[in-house]
Structure formats: C-alpha cells, structure tokens
C-alpha cells in the first residue's frame, strides 16, 4: 500500500478513513474512563491512567458522582 500525502488534497479535507480514525481516537479516553469506572476504579486510578490528577479526570469525564 502506497502512503499518500494528505496535504495534497485540493479541498483541504482529510480522506474519510482518516476522519473516522481521528473520531475514534477522540472518543477513546472517554471509553477507557467508562470501562475503568464500570470496573470500580477510583478517580485517582483513572487520573493515573490518563496521566492527570483525579480532579482533572473527574471534571472532564465525571458524570456519575462517585
């Protein structure tokens, strides 16, 4: 498979497959947090996985009040 330079696109948009990949990567942290919390992880543990504080993790992803 030949690599393609996406900067050559005349309209400035990424090809569809790269857009899908970017969307999946943007959703990944929230999915990981959801799974960790479902398994009983504390916000301190979630923060450690995300390499941030428990407060920052909770502010960004906390919805359940645990």
Q: Does the predicted model carry a pTM greater than 0.85?
A: no
Which pLDDT tens digit goes with each residue over 31-51?
A: 999 999 999 999 999 999 999
Mean pLDDT of 48-62: 96
> Under a CB-based contact definition with an 8 Å cutoff, are residues 62 and 43 in contact?
yes
Percent of the chain clearing pLDDT 90 (strictly above) = 65
Give 58: exposed, middle or buried? Use CB within 10 Å, 0-12, 13-18, 19+: buried
| Helices (H), ranges, 11-63 | 16-38, 43-50, 54-61
């Amino acid at each position: 498979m030949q690599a393609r330079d996406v900067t050559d696109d005349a309209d400035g948009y990424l090809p569809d497959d790269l857009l899908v990949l970017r969307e999946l990567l943007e959703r990944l942290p929230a999915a990981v947090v959801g799974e960790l919390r479902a398994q009983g992880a504390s916000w301190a543990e979630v923060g450690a996985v995300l390499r941030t504080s428990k407060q920052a993790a909770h502010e960004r992803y906390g919805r359940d009040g645990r």
